Amino acid sequence: MTLGNFLNDGKSKKLKNQNNQKEMVIQDLLLPVQNSKERTEDITHVIMHCISNVDNNSQDPYNVNAIYNRLRDKGLSTHYMIDREGTIFKLTNENRVAYHAKKDDMPSFPVYPKEVDQYSIGIELLGIRTQGETSDILTKEAYDSIDVSNIEWTNEQYGSLGLLLGDIYKRNPSIVRDGIFGQASNVAGRPFAYSHDSTRYTHNPNWMEGIKDTAKLSELSIPGTHDSMAYKTEVPATDHVYTQSMSLETQLDSGIRFLDMRCRYIDGSFAMHHGPYYLDAMFGDVLNIVTKFLGENPSETILMRVKQEHSEVSDQVFNETLQEYMDRYPTFFWDSKNGSIKNPILGGMRGKIVILRNVNGSDVGLNYPHNFNIQDEYKLDSNWSLYDKWLKVKNHLNNAKQAYPNGSGEAYINYLNGSTGKLPVYPYFVASGHSSPGTWAPRLSTGLTTPGWAHSYPDFPRTTCFLGICTISFEGTNILATDYITKNKLKYAGIVVSDFPGPDLINAVIKVNNHLLGSEVPGDVYQIVTSLNDTSVVDLNRSDNEVTLWSDNGEDNQKWKFVYDEKEGKYLIESMTEENLLLAWNGSHYPRKVVVKQKPAYKPYPDECYWTLRSLGGDYYEIINKGQRVYPGDYMPLWLDVDHSGTTNGTKITVHESNSTKAQKFKLRRV
């Protein structure tokens, strides 16, 4: 059967993009079964490559038939291939391991016990990389002879890739936060920091859980959204109106903790607006969603800027209406004690909405903008003003970085968004630098090239190169800020507010808080003493490796070394009887016994081996396990617990949901 006949006869799966503009088809083009093997591990990564037949035929480098045959004959494979027109071919089912990557090709890939392929989905995009990246197979003369239209990826490929990745994420929530790698210049090193999709690409419903209660607002780095409700309108609008693509529920679930709410006063109620555009929601709808989220995730807090938009009632009327809304949810709003608290601690904000009142005449919440150091230069005269906007964002990130060690007590807010000043400038462009709104649309060219303008826009990327001349392309503030935060290893970024945030931007800001996770204790040896009687200690029974409560006898089986894992932001607790024994739990539903487990030879260690400390004051702590996986990628934290609050020798130590009793309160006594 010819390839053409195979395509006509093959099965296909249809996907629509979120705007239903066109339908994409996934066409089965399966490689022989011997080109893959059974998968035994969760999928945690997606790896994208360029592929072509350029070394065999530089004038026809994208012949699908030829590329398929090469993979087949070499015993190689991939899961998906996207041709230049955006057609998606499935070459291997996801439940099988495709032979598409090697560990030495991926230096930043986590150390796993099996090969990289076992944990990843491979996507090949028909494309030719830069001359430097193809120098091992092509001479410079041969490369220069290639039609420039055959280099890099097409708009159609970017569109199909966005649809495919969204579909993969939905079906594989086990994919980790930093789980996209690229082996080509088109994607390698460029973070997934912009998303114009409604899909949830990351899952952070309780990321504040492990942060110490004493962390002040001015110490927290928080991802936020600008004009948070501008993801839908009552009537169709143009791209200058929309600033988000995720629903409010999805924003919260993804980790957004700063919301920008623009309220129009109408007959005693607030309608959500972006300028004159009604966003098809009322403020009551917003509060229903946010309070439901906080009820389910009481470890979190939501900062909510409230501003009057497209109405002109007095501050008194606006404040009275806001108070009426607040009175409907009396337990969900943070109390500033008549404005006396200006830099609250997280412990006091958990489970609460903190109003940032962008209106005078009230002491509700925090005064906005006076309690904050804010960068909000949002007007761009043209697309070429994007670099000036980025410099303002970059400067504010640097100012926050410099201010943090000085303990100024002032929280920083940095708005990445921008839009029209004089000429049309769309929010999606400022966030992405793209030529169109799509998540994977290509960058727009500035019109400048190197070497002639080599010193222009130094932070913008140099892309398509031909005969030594490279295009200088725009880059979005979301991508630039994510790179800056990650590469500079910031300890403080402040509140980072954006349009269309992608998972890498959200997660980069969240990770800045790693040094605030739990309570930091010196990496030393401790006894873990129950607060039930302040004498009995956590004890290892070496005969069965179970952990119980026992009277203090000073032996090594009652001593534990706390070792902080910087990457995980959590502790490993080693038994002093043998350093390769880690405090963990048995992974069963009930009873959830605490045991010791042999330290594996590879990282990351099993989830049940990681612990967070939460200070309760004095030398007392809650000791919180990473928890039980509810479904791939989502965990329910579990607390170290003395079974039934017993104090007799041999009482089992377990892990349990939080109950705020003395059974979950322990003193760390250094020995």
Residues designated catalytic: 226, 274
List the structure tokens of 122: 């491979």
User: What's the rounded Cα separation, in Å, for the pair 40 and 33?
Assistant: 16
Between strands 634-642 and 620-631, the pairing is antiparallel
User: What's the rounded Cα separation, in Å, for the pair 384 and 235?
Assistant: 31
CB atoms within 10 A of CB 95: 9
User: What's the rounded Cα separation, in Å, for the pair 15 and 164?
Assistant: 8
Instruction: Name residue 667's beta-bridge partners.
Output: 529, 620
Residues 6+ apart with CB under 8 A from 380: 386, 388, 389, 418, 419, 420, 421, 425, 430
Residues 6+ apart with CB under 8 A from 250: 198, 199, 200
Residues 6+ apart with CB under 8 A from 504: 177, 178, 191, 192, 193, 482
Question: Cβ(70)–Cβ(53) under 8 Å?
Answer: yes
Angle formed by the axes of helices 503-511 and 477-487, to 10°? Answer: 30
Which residue, chain included where needed, has tokens 């789980």?
A: 179
List the structure tokens of 128: 């030719």
Question: Cβ(137)–Cβ(130) under 8 Å?
Answer: no
CB atoms within 10 A of CB 504: 25
Residues 6+ apart with CB under 8 A from 80: 26, 88, 89, 90, 91, 121, 122, 123, 124, 164
What phi and psi, each to the nearest 5 degrees, are found at residue 348? -80, -15
Strand locations in 17-71 (E): 23-28, 36-38, 45-51
SS3 per residue for 530-578: ECCCCCCEEEEECCCCEEEEECCCCCHHHCEEEEEECCCCEEEEEECCC
Instruction: Name residue 538's beta-bridge partners.
Output: 549
